[in-house]
Amino acid sequence: MEISERELRRMVADSDDQHRAAMDTFTEDNRGLIFETAPSRRKFLAGLGFGSAAVVVGSAVLPMGRLMPRAWAQSAPSDSDIATFAASVEYAAVAAYTAAAKSGLIKTPAVLQAATTFAGQHQQHGDAFKAAGTNPNVMANKGVLDSVTPQLMAAKTENDVVALAYGLENAAAATYIFALGVLNNDKAYNAVASVMPVEAQHAIALGFVLGKTLDDKTFMPSFETADGHVDPAKNPAA
């Protein structure tokens, strides 16, 4: 059966109407997608920003979920809340290094010295963030500890321990890059921006111990990224 030209024109017009209706929102959808790609404070909360679905600390994928205070689900965190979260991550790093030093697995004196020094620096970081934060009683981040502890217990060599610390330092650096995308006040910015480079340098020192080479992008990236950051939505400070 053949169709009339009139029928064809009607079908094409219908199709065109449908297409235009869909495309009307396409540009707006894209605009929203593009300009909201940056981690807004709300997305920092939801962990959608630059963050991947999970963060790798050492070799474990950190489960993203439990850590954020319930209050954060109701409203976006303030800079002070973010500082408290950062303090919890730092205190978790202190705990990790302390446990590593006590494990007996670190035999090289220089590595043991580095672990002790870095633990002390993370303590200072935590204290500075705590002072800028909302919770004077903030403790080590449970989510990070839950990820790191089994790995530490399973470690058998000095390299295992150093690899765990290396992952933790890179995760910390990434977390601060993530946070910098939303912080507004001087105090919070200065705290994060003065700590982030130090975590990166910790990673370099540990990377040398592990024999990392310059072509390893986790060791010597062209740009720091927020990939692998500790997500406050899933790992809230206590």
Partner 1 sequence: MDINNDELRRELRDLDKEHREVMPKWRDSLRRLMDDKETPTEAKADLLLGGFNRRRFMNLSGLAVVGGAVLAACGSDKKNSSSSNGSTASTAATTATTAAAAKTDQTIARTAASLENFAVAVYDKAIMNAAALKISDPVAKAAVLFKSQHTEHASAFNAAATQLGGQPYTDPNPTAAKAFEATIAALKTEQDVLKLAFGLEQIAAQTYQGVGMKLSTPMLRQTSMTVGGVEARHMAILAHFITPPMTVPAAAFQMTDKAIDASFYV
Question: Interface residues with partner 1 (CB under 8 A)?
Answer: 1-5, 8, 27, 30-38, 40, 42, 50, 120-121, 124-125, 128, 173, 176-177, 180-184, 186, 189-190, 193-198, 200-205, 208, 214, 219-225, 227
Shortest distance, position 153 Cβ to partner 1, whole Å: 28
In the bound state with partner 1, the residue whose beta carbon lies nearer, of 60 and 101, is: 101
Nearest alpha carbon to residue 96 among 122, 73, 74: 122
| 172 in Cβ contact with 93 (< 8 Å) | yes
In the bound state with partner 1, the residue whose beta carbon lies nearer, of 154 and 204, is: 204
In the bound state with partner 1, the residue whose beta carbon lies nearer, of 105 and 112, is: 112
In the bound state with partner 1, the residue whose beta carbon lies nearer, of 52 and 103, is: 52
Alpha-carbon distance of 230 to 175, in angstroms, equals: 5
Shortest distance, position 94 Cβ to partner 1, whole Å: 12
Q: Give the containing element (helix H, strand E) for 89.
A: helix 79-102
Shortest distance, position 42 Cβ to partner 1, whole Å: 8
Alpha-carbon distance of 178 to 183, in angstroms, equals: 10
Shortest distance, position 1 Cβ to partner 1, whole Å: 5
End-to-end, the C-alpha distance of the chain in Å comes to: 73
Nearest alpha carbon to residue 86 among 102, 67, 110: 67
Shortest distance, position 150 Cβ to partner 1, whole Å: 28
Alpha-carbon distance of 64 to 230, in angstroms, equals: 8
Assigned token pair, 174: 């990434």
Cα 66 to chain centroid distance, Å, stands at 15
Nearest alpha carbon to residue 55 among 221, 161, 172: 172
In the bound state with partner 1, the residue whose beta carbon lies nearer, of 155 and 174, is: 174
Assigned token pair, 16: 């065109």
In the bound state with partner 1, the residue whose beta carbon lies nearer, of 60 and 188, is: 188
Shortest distance, position 144 Cβ to partner 1, whole Å: 19
